[in-house]
Amino acid sequence: MSISALMWLLLRSGIWAGIGSLGFAVLFNVPPRLLAGCAMCGAAGYIARLLVMQLGVDIEGATLVGALIVGCGGELLARRWRAPVPIFTVSGVIPMMPGRFAFSTMIGLLRFATSGPDASSQMLVEASLNATKTALILGAIAFGIAAPSLLFQRHRPVV
């Protein structure tokens, strides 16, 4: 893929991911002054994930990198605008949710359940692989959001 095509892909995907994050932020009743930060977190995380995937990393590792970007960005924006961190991080990771893999898992399990006694084990293997991939992506998102909060927040000792 050429550099200009990659840049166009990243720009277009970032815009759509930002719009998706913005829509969920509005749905979650985020104050209007914070909406731009939610869109920026979503776009930056999705662009990072897409860029890392273009470099050859699998979707689970790329999602971890994208979620770390969202988590760090959420920490920075929360300090700058004196707002809670989840306002930026929750809406920022929405574009990275593994909807296709979760859907494929459910369809595979339904096909296996309704296929009768002569069902192929291949259907169950594919459903299991999709379920594992879904779980790993969700784990990467959870770790990516939590890690910056655990690393950068200073907790005062109890006196």
Q: What is the mean pLDDT of the chain?
A: 93
77 close to 88: Cβ distance less than 8 angstroms: yes
Q: Span 14-20, mean pLDDT?
A: 97
What does the pLDDT look like over 108-155, one tens digit per residue?
999 988 887 777 788 889 999 999 999 999 999 999 999 998 888 777
- Over pLDDT 90: what percentage of the chain? 82
Angstrom distances, CA of residue 148 to CA of 42, 67, 102, 127, 140: 16, 10, 27, 33, 13
Q: Indicate the domain borders of the chain.
A: 3-96+141-152
Angstrom distances, CA of residue 140 to CA of 25, 112, 159: 21, 28, 36
Quick check: 95 pLDDT over 90?
A: yes
